[in-house]
Amino acid sequence: MVSIRDGQDLEFSEFERISGTSLNMLYRNLASNSFKIADKRLVAYEKNEPVGYLLLKNMELGDSSIGLLMWGAVMPEFRRKHIGSELVENALAYFKANGIREVYSATTKDNIPSIKMFKRNNFEIISFNEILSKHGLTAIKLYINAFLFPNKFILRKLI
């Protein structure tokens, strides 16, 4: 039985152990940096073993507060059990409780499991131009924090 908990006490080595099973070297390094700056870490535990995580950040874009799902991973043997979706649901509840109504994430265009998971949780793919027209040039902050490389889709959910 998996439980999702606040992961502020998660050991960095445990975090890296999960990343090591799930992310390539570039993304693993970026995720490790984000570990330190995340406003909240959610962790999925199976029998007290951490098996997945999601890093969250609160951001101000102009007058709007938005939520960012920075990095997430579930260890291979625990996938397709809705652990990723439960992490996302918990993140949305956290952002909503903090008055945030707009949540973003990004994933590479060839990451079918990730795209499908977000779509199943009612995220939509949007263009950076849409974010620019809504938030103006402050959208650049999102561009930087979400590492919006050209090979990525931006995903958004209004909550």
Contact residues toward ligand COA (CB under 6 A) are 22-23, 71-74, 79-85, 107, 111-114, 116-117, 120
Residue with smaller CB distance to ligand COA, 114 or 135: 114
Residue with smaller CB distance to ligand COA, 52 or 139: 52
Residue with smaller CB distance to ligand COA, 24 or 48: 24
Give the type of residue at 137. L
User: Among positive and negative, which fits the CA dihedral 34, 39, 43, 49?
Assistant: positive
Residue with smaller CB distance to ligand COA, 138 or 145: 145
Minimum distance between the CB of residue 46 and ligand COA, rounded to whole angstroms? 12
Bridge-partner residues for 4, per DSSP?
A: 44
Minimum distance between the CB of residue 125 and ligand COA, rounded to whole angstroms? 14
Minimum distance between the CB of residue 16 and ligand COA, rounded to whole angstroms? 14
Minimum distance between the CB of residue 65 and ligand COA, rounded to whole angstroms? 22
Q: Within 13 Å and on the Cβ side, how many CA atoms surround 83?
A: 25
DSSP 50-118: EEEEEEEEEEEETTEEEEEEEEEEE-GGGTTSSHHHHHHHHHHHHHHHTT--EEEEEEETT-HHHHHHH
